Every structure is written in structure tokens, then in C-alpha cells.
Structure 1
Amino acid sequence: MTTPRTTIPDVSRLPVATPALSLRGGRVSFGSRTLWDGLDLDVDPGEFVAVLGPNGSGKTTLVRVLLGLLPLSAGDVRIAGRPPRRGSPSLGYVPQQKALDPDLPLRGRDLVGLGLDGHRLGFGLRGRRARRERVVAALAAVGGTGYADAPVGRLSGGEQQRLRVAQALVGDPDVLLCDEPLLSLDLAHQRAVTRLIDERRRAANTAVLFVTHEINPVLPLVDRILYLVDGRFRIGPPSEVMTSEVLSELYRTHIEVVRVRGRLIVVGAEEQSDFCHEEPA
């Protein structure tokens, strides 16, 4: 009897998953000032990466590079294997919460719809029904159906931010860029917005890059942290990055990370702006 042969696959021929976001040797400089240099970062589909650091460290600049609004001074960047560009369907963007004019003639569904065609001239007659269905689905996903026809300027900050999340997700992006999306929101709305983003990345395997000063609502969800300080950076799991030794090295001064009632308190950072980090459950 002949024993069947087991074929061992050639590892070199196996398909390799393309990172949702890839940055190689990234540098951004403005004149003689370099925000960061030599930045290598791969974010896998479904991964949640938090970007931390003091004001002026280049967090929002990183988001602008990924959105295709600012070129790198050196290095290479790819979103789902392609160079970033304005209006890319591979990207969803959730900005900071900012108050809108109460008399702005824009409904909730209109704001969400801008995520599909805000960067294009028209959507086409054939696509109107599909567009409407996608907007309705996005509103339902964030619990915004009840104020789809309400003037956006008359909604609460939390309701407006739900609509911005829907706007970012309506195009079914590979990467969700969040630039301080919890700013100015109360704790309840912070939790609601964070839950929406996390549900999306788990359901659709969407990569999340989350810029924040307030880490408490998201740390239990974070896979890795990118910490930027004065041209230096560190990337790794929270347990490796959020330590007294690592932050003291980055800030070039003594930083104390202590545990207080299940929370991480970071004391001594620049600008007297202490960070308060909740430990994951």
C-alpha cells in the first residue's frame, strides 16, 4: 500500500496580506524643524492603533499625510497598497467635534452623504438609489435615523459626532482615521462614539488609527500605541510603551507612570499636561 504524500506548501508562494496602512522611512520637515523621521508603521486590517503625544508632536500631521493632504519629506506611504489621495474611498475620516452653525441648511442625511460624494461633482442618476440606501444604512448603524432630517447645527455635540462617524463609514473604507474624535464630548458620548468605531472595525475588519489626548475610553480596545514626542517615537503594545522608562526616554526628562485604582497616571509630561490612562480590563 502506498502512503499518500503530503505536499508542503512553498511559503514563498503563499499570499501575503497587504497592510491596510503602510509607512516606510516616513519623515516630515518644515524648514529646519523635523516633526518625525524614519517612521516605519504597518497597520493590519482590523487593528486598532492609538497615536499619542503632546501638542506639536506631529499627530495631526500624520493624519494629513495619510489623507493625501500633505506630502512626506522622505519615505513612502501606502493605503491598502496604493498611494494616499484626496477623497480616496479606502479612507474614512472622523475629525474633532466642532460646533456647527445652528442655521446651517444641512440635514443629518446630507452630512452623511458627503462621505460618498463630497469630493466629487455629482453622483449620477443611476447611483441615486444606491446612494440613498447606503446613507440610510449608515445612519441606522450609528443610531442616527431619528435625526436624519434634522438641521445638523441644532443637534447636540454627541449627535453631530455620530453623524461624522456615519459619514466616515458610509463609503466602506479600509482604514478609519480618527483625529481627536472625542474632544469636547462628555463621558457618555465618548463611550458611544468609541463603541461605534470599535463595532465597525470588528464587523468589517477595518483598520483604525486613533489620534487622542484622552486615552481612557479606548485603551481597552488598543492593540498598539504610536507615541510621538519631539521628533522621537515608540511603537508597541500599551504594556511596553506606557512605562516610566520608555516615556522618560522619549521626553528626555523624568516621567512617572503609576497605577491608581485600575488606572495609569502619567505625570510630568511637557506643558504640565498630564495624561491619564485607564488600564484595559
Structure 2
Amino acid sequence: MDRTEAGTSAFLRGHAQRTPERATPVISLRGAALAYGDRALWSGLDMEVRPGEFLAVLGPNGSGKTSLLRVILGRQQLTAGSVTVLGRVPRRGSRQIGYIPQQEALPAHSMPRVRDLVQLGIDGHRWGPSLTPRAIRRRVDEVLASVGATHLADIPVGRLSGGERQRVRVAQALATDPRILLCDEPLLSLDLRYQRTVIELVDRRRRGAGTAVVFVTHEINPVLGPLDRVLYLAPGGFLIGAPDEVMTTPTLSQLYGTRIDVVRVGGRIVVVGAPDADTVHSHADDPSAGGQP
């Protein structure tokens, strides 16, 4: 067993395996709508996410993918409808929600060390009991080991590669042992190797601890393995279902109101004709712009 596997085993020890499909939802939206002024992003959205489920959120820029995460985080109010997270109205700073934001450029001389960034995931929340300095340090070491980043602990964050930084962001998001993990375009600007690393870390967590994953992405192909369902947001509405139900020529053509071709090549999905189609086709190593709020 290598260091990563050993750390992960310790991190997940004591957790149940993936929760049965009919378990109580951890996220529930009913008749949810979101608009900015006269511009409606989506409406009538009914959706439940259950423990251990991996839901990918797809759609063109400006379709409200990041805004959906903000609603779940309690940072954005719905225009209509309702949302509950872990059985209650969402609020800022919940220790039961881990969040991986879109990558931001950092100067090479950025001073915070990796362990400092991860520590923010532990004591940077508004709610929850405080831990002793010794307990915090132990937790930081444990969570870094779980993602194979122990060797990065004392390196300034600004000196990390994009892939290393995302590995650390995963650690920060998992620091409070969350029941929900929200990922906002965590694969952007990463090569195929680091994309696989991030996906494997997220998938290992949800399988070992039953953590629900909501994964915003422009590129469906890297997540096809662990994926349970797709929520596709577009100007014509939304679709939610299994990948084979949503990612088809008829369904996406109906959603966009124009001909959209979905082709499967070598086990990969290629979408042709949709706005931003180049960000959801099979070129996973092409970095693209992130979704806008």
C-alpha cells in the first residue's frame, strides 16, 4: 500500500460505504428558479441529490452552473421555489459542505503554505466548535495524507503547479469531513494526468464516506466513470437524468431548440452544434474558460 492509499484508508476509517439509493436526500430543490433582472437562467427545477451520488452539472457559459452551487452554499437566493440542504435552509459557512472553487492565479511569491490553506478549511468556518492547535495540526496532516500531499505541506501555495494546487484544494474541501462536496470546474487548465488525479480523489471520497458530489464541468468525458446523473442547463431549460438519457441527439436538440448532434467515439461523447460545444467534447486536455455566475 503506498502513502496515498494508506493516508486515505486512515482518513476514511470508520465511515460507512456508499449509502443506498433511497437514502434521505442531502440536497433538495422544488420549483427552483433563478434570474438576474429580466434574464432567467433556469426555472421549475426539481432535483434531489442523495448521499454518495455523483451529479455532474453541464451547460454553456452563463447557464447558471456556478450560481446553482452558490444557492446550495447559501450565498445566492432563489428567485422562486425552495431549496433545502441537509434538511434545512442553506446557510453560509456550513462545516458539512466542502467546496472546491474555480482556480485563481496566484503569484509565485504567495506566502501561505499548503498547510495554512488546508487549515482554513478547518477553522475558517463561522459555525462549529473550535479545535485545539494540536488537534488542528493533526487533522491537517491527516487530510493532506489522504490526498497524497504530505510532501507539499510546507511549500508556499504560489509555487505549486496547477495540478498540485487542485490536490490541495481537495484536501481543504475535505478538512471538515463534509457530507456534501461541491466542485466548481476543478479540471480547468489541468492536463489529463491531473484531471484523473482530481476525479479519483473525489470519487474515492464519495465511495468511502458516502459524500454526495455536485461537480460543475464543461467536459463530461473525464467523469463518465464515476458519474451517476447529469444536470444539463441550457437557455431552453434543463434536463436531468442518466448520461445515456441526457447526452443524446434528440434530448439536447429539444433543449436548445436546434439540431445538436451527440456522437460517441471510442467510449467518449462528442457534442456538435451547441454553443460552447468545444468545451464539452472529447478534447479533455484543452483548457477553457470557466462558467460565469
| Inter-partner Cα distance in structure 2 for 1:127 and 1:22 | 35
**Offset of 1:231 from its aligned partner?**
4.9
- The amino acid that maps onto 1:108 is V
- The amino acid that maps onto 1:31 is G
1:79 corresponds in structure 2 to 85
**Offset of 1:17 from its aligned partner?**
3.6
Give the length in aligned residue pairs.
Answer: 262
**Offset of 1:219 from its aligned partner?**
1.1
- Conservation of the 8 A alpha-carbon contact between 2:221 and 2:282: yes
The 10-residue stretch of structure 1 (269-278 or 58-67) with the greater mean CA deviation from structure 2:
269-278
- Root-mean-square deviation (Å): 1.8
- Conservation of the 8 A alpha-carbon contact between 1:53 and 1:227: yes
- The amino acid that maps onto 1:244 is T
3-state SS of 1:270 partner: coil
**Offset of 1:265 from its aligned partner?**
1.1
**Offset of 1:31 from its aligned partner?**
1.2
**Offset of 1:211 from its aligned partner?**
0.3
- Conservation of the 8 A alpha-carbon contact between 2:118 and 2:171: yes
| Inter-partner Cα distance in structure 2 for 1:136 and 1:274 | 36
Query: Quick one: which of 102, 105, 119 aligns to 2:108?
Result: 102
Q: How does 1:111-260 map to 2 (within 5 A)?
A: 111-120=117-126, 124=130, 127-260=132-265
| Inter-partner Cα distance in structure 1 for 2:67 and 2:255 | 19
3-state SS of 2:221 partner: coil
Residues 75-115 of structure 1, C-alpha deviation per residue, up to 9 Å, x if partnerless?
A: 11111112111110111001122221211220000001111
The 10-residue stretch of structure 1 (171-180 or 114-123) with the greater mean CA deviation from structure 2:
114-123
Residues 105-159 of structure 1, C-alpha deviation per residue, up to 9 Å, x if partnerless?
A: 20000001111122349975x5222221111111001111001011110111111
Q: Which runs of 5+ in 1 are unaligned?
A: 1-15
| Inter-partner Cα distance in structure 1 for 2:99 and 2:193 | 22
- Conservation of the 8 A alpha-carbon contact between 1:35 and 1:231: no
- Greater RCO (Cα-Cα under 8 Å, separation 6 or more): 2
- Conservation of the 8 A alpha-carbon contact between 2:29 and 2:83: yes
Larger radius of gyration: 1
Residues 10-29 of structure 1, C-alpha deviation per residue, up to 9 Å, x if partnerless?
A: xxxxxx84211111111111
| Inter-partner Cα distance in structure 2 for 1:31 and 1:121 | 32
3-state SS of 1:273 partner: helix
| Inter-partner Cα distance in structure 2 for 1:270 and 1:140 | 41
- Conservation of the 8 A alpha-carbon contact between 1:18 and 1:81: no
3-state SS of 2:281 partner: strand
2:94 corresponds in structure 1 to 88
Q: Which runs of 5+ in 2 are unaligned?
A: 1-21, 284-293
- Under a length normalisation based on structure 2, what TM-score does the superposition of the two structures give? 0.85
| Inter-partner Cα distance in structure 2 for 1:64 and 1:274 | 22
- Conservation of the 8 A alpha-carbon contact between 1:52 and 1:213: yes
Answering whether residue 59 of structure 2 is matched by residue 53 of structure 1, we say yes
Change (3 A) 1:274 1:99: closer
**Offset of 1:217 from its aligned partner?**
1.1
